[in-house]
Amino acid sequence: MPIQVLMPALSPTMEKGNLAKWLKKEGETIKSGDVIAEIETDKATMEVEATDEGTLGKILIPEGTADVAVNTPIATILADGESAADLAKAPAAPAPSVAREVAESRSPVGEGKPMISAPKAAAAPPAVAEPDPEVPAGTEMVTQTIREALRDAMAEEMRRDADVFVMGEEVAEYQGAYKVTQGLLQEFGAKRVIDTPITEHGFAGIGVGAAMTGLKPIVEFMTFNFAMQAIDQIINSAAKTLYMSGGQMGCSIVFRGPNGAAARVAAQHSQDYSSWYSNVPGLKVVAPFSAADYKGLLKAAIRDPNPVIFLENEVLYGHTGEVPKLDDFVIPIGKARIVRSGSHVTIISWSNGMTYALKAADELAKDGIEAEVIDLRTLRPMDTETIVNSVKKTGRAVTVEEGWAQSGVGAEIAARIMENAFDYLDAPVARVSGKDVPMPYAANLEKLALPSAAEVVEAAKAVCYR
């Protein structure tokens, strides 16, 4: 049967165009790829190439015709052995239905599910968080720095799984820019503890590529400020590939390193990226405060089959805490922890923000205000349930973060409280955050730019109308 040549669409938005010129005449031989006509849109002139071989049978739309609708038959091509007499066999006018119509007109088959996409998509399934593991009574507690807890977490996971390796700048021979990887080279050797050149974008991509084959890299950034060089690989390659591959190919990878303000390192070394990464589906984002959480959550992050952003804090590296001495102490990602119980106001924070939150709670207690302090620990998926349950009890909430307020994690928490506990609120949610300025260098200005316990106290009192 003769083949119809249809008016092509040159972009998804094109609906009609002008048939400017025919470059082949009726009766001429046509090979696949030959330019047969020129069409014009408001944007450009384009060539129409034949996709079939044969003879140009009949021109249906003469040149110079304006506003030809996409998919209108413009000519017929006769295949080998066909003649003009066969033209009558070509379907008359109607353009072949486009794919979408074809799909929608078919009746459901197979699994019995409707084939037509529902106009409104179902809501995202809620994240289910597991509780912390039981630490048996009498378990020996070891006092160690956060730095050591992180090192032990990596070493334990590397002993457990030969596919786990660590790469980054100065992680091996220098023993870590902040000594977090101290001793790993000696135990695991240069094959698994890999010093990279100063090349964040490149080694982040190499890590993601290795992870796509099933290896489990721990990519250390000397600070997350430098990871901005690599953020394309983190988001476009690591976070999205599982979805874009229909679940075939994902990557188990941890990006870790200090995030946020250290001390006196000024604007380019002091940014908090909590809200940036927690914006992205496909990533998990963890930002612990206590030594035990650092250890248990890093082990969970390394085992997680998804890309995990593990935000540490340089100021906290030297802080000590009690870590249970267990063979395998893993804290599930996604569960907040109530660090201090109270009934008057809920203070929600994470990472070093907890320093201000806990100090403020002590101060508030002196004034008779019992604050409930929640350490989020994981920013994505966020444990909305723990926050909402607390706010339903206290009726008041304050968020504390070192990052900027606009589009910040505090803003997200406030929105979730409004969505889930509006009727329980006795006051608007208050946010304490880093000031809306690049981090200054001068000691006094830097102090002013960061949140403080006093600001948290003030905010808590304000929401309690005290």
Considering only residues 427 to 456 of the shown chain, the ones binding another protein according to CB under 8 A are none
Among 46, 185, 360, 398, binds another protein (CB under 8 A): 46
We find the least distance from the C-beta atom of residue 247 to another protein, in angstroms, to be: 4
Site for another protein in 256-285 (CB under 8 A): 281-282, 284
Q: Among the options 82, 269, 372, 402, which is catalytic?
A: 269
Interface with another protein (CB under 8 A), residue total 75
Which positions from 51 through 80 interact with another protein, judged by CB under 8 A?
51, 70-71
455 is catalytic: no
Q: Is 170 a catalytic residue?
A: no
CB of 248 to another protein, least distance (A): 5
Stretch that binds another protein, among 28-36, 140-148, 268-276, 435-443 (CB under 8 A): 28-36
305 binds another protein (CB under 8 A): yes
The CA distance from 420 to 428, in Å, is 14
Is 2 among the residues that bind another protein (CB under 8 A)?
Answer: no
Residue 212 lies near another protein (rule: CB under 8 A):
yes
* 9/61 with CB nearer another protein: 9
If the CB atoms of residues 250 and 395 are measured against another protein, the closer one turns out to be 250
Would you say 206 or 266 has its CB closer to another protein?
A: 206
Q: CB under 8 A: which stretch of 206-214, 287-295, 445-453, 456-464 binds another protein? A: 206-214
208 binds another protein (CB under 8 A): yes
Query: Of the listed pieces 245-253, 355-363, 364-372, 441-449, which binds another protein according to CB under 8 A?
Result: 245-253
Query: Of the listed pieces 111-119, 271-279, 293-301, 410-418, which binds another protein according to CB under 8 A?
Result: 111-119
Catalytic residue among 148, 157, 169, 200: 200
Would you name the residues annotated as active-site residues?
A: 200, 269
